[in-house]
Structure 1
Amino acid sequence: MTVYTVNPDLDLVLERTVDVPPELVWRAWTTPELIMQWFTPKPWSTVACEIDLRPGGRFDTTMRSPEGEEYPNSGCILVVDEGSTLVFTSGLGPGFRPQIAQGGFPFTAVVRIEPDGAGTKYTAVAIHADESAKKSHDEMGFHEGWGAALEQLVDLMKVR
């Protein structure tokens, strides 16, 4: 299922092939107890997560800095294609209710999970409204942060 075509002027893309089966990558993305173990690059942590896995459902996390400051993030799930595609946005809250996004700019995340041999082709796209938001997200360390989080996901799910 194609849900989005990447616009290189507005979007950031992380694509990797990982040696974890697609069903485990999906489980890691859709199980709150697992998200709390890998979602935030160390030394940060995810201390709370609530997911209502359906269009209009919530995708909420709370991240904690090494200094103990907490950053709640609330979002809305837009697309659930079981086992292969998860789309959520910070521009909407649960029930598709518009909200002011945390972090200064809203974005939509498209996570694609595809079989690749015994592993998974993993693609995460962060969609932005304008070039300024893309630049801000890139400068925050999108590639490093999302890449480190994916490595943590892989490490976690290899022992499952």
Structure 2
Amino acid sequence: MRRKTKIYKDKVSRELTVERTVAIPLELAWEGWTKPEHISRWWGPKNWTSTVYEMDVRPNGVWRYSLRPNNGNGEEVYCRAVYQEVLEPTRLVYIDSFTDENWSMVEKSDMYTTVTFDEIKEGCKLKIITRFRSIEDLYNAEEMGMIKGFSDAFERLEEHLKSKYGGKL
């Protein structure tokens, strides 16, 4: 059964919400989102590769990563997130920013991001809420590929953990 990803845009709060129920337990969803050996296998759109350079999941800890298309068409994108809040296993809050290849932040690229994990009968409801600096940035998110990227990433997370843990789910 294919799970539908729900997308919400709130122009008043300048937030994009991407929500999906995955058929994996809460604890595994948390592990999949907070361990570099997992996140490098699913973060980003299909047919893109994620490289994790640093991932220190604690308040003021840093997550540095890049995304690049597997077919070589397009540029590698570098990002740096700083965790603001970590409430295991239900909530992550971080400020994610684009950077150059030397990890210097691209001005005005910061996005306030909240990820929630809710245990439900079917598995885990994941929600990623991204607040943008402006309404224009919110509307440009789809053009940038963020909606497709988050939707693909949720699907890839579920597939990765199911393949890794198999019958234990």
Structure 2 partner of 1:14: 18
Contact 1:12–1:126 (CA under 8 A) maintained in structure 2: yes
Pairwise CA distance, 1:91: 4.8
* Residues 63-121 of structure 1: per-residue CA shift (max 9 Å, x gap): 1223174322112011100101011112599xxxxx7347x622121100010014011
Counting matched residue pairs gives 149
| Unpaired segments ≥5 residues, structure 2 | 1-7
The whole-number CA distance in structure 1 between the counterparts of 2:28 and 2:141 is 27
Contact 2:23–2:123 (CA under 8 A) maintained in structure 1: yes
The whole-number CA distance in structure 2 between the counterparts of 1:150 and 1:91 is 20
Question: In angstroms, what is the RMSD of aligned CA positions?
Answer: 2.3
Letter in 2 for 1:100: M
The whole-number CA distance in structure 1 between the counterparts of 2:58 and 2:148 is 29
1:75 is the counterpart of 2:81: yes
The whole-number CA distance in structure 2 between the counterparts of 1:113 and 1:60 is 22
Tell me the TM-score normalised to structure 2 length: 0.79
Pairwise CA distance, 1:144: 1.5
1:28 is the counterpart of 2:27: no
Structure 2 partner of 1:84: 90
Runs (4 or more) in structure 1 with deviation over 6 Å come to none
Question: For 2:10, what is the secondary structure of its paired residue?
Answer: coil
Letter in 2 for 1:37: R
Task: After TM superposition, list the pairs within 5 Å mapping 1:23-102 onto structure 2.
Answer: 23-65=27-69, 66-67=71-72, 69-91=75-97, 100-101=105-106
Letter in 2 for 1:44: W
| Unpaired segments ≥5 residues, structure 1 | 1-5, 94-98
Tell me the TM-score normalised to structure 1 length: 0.84
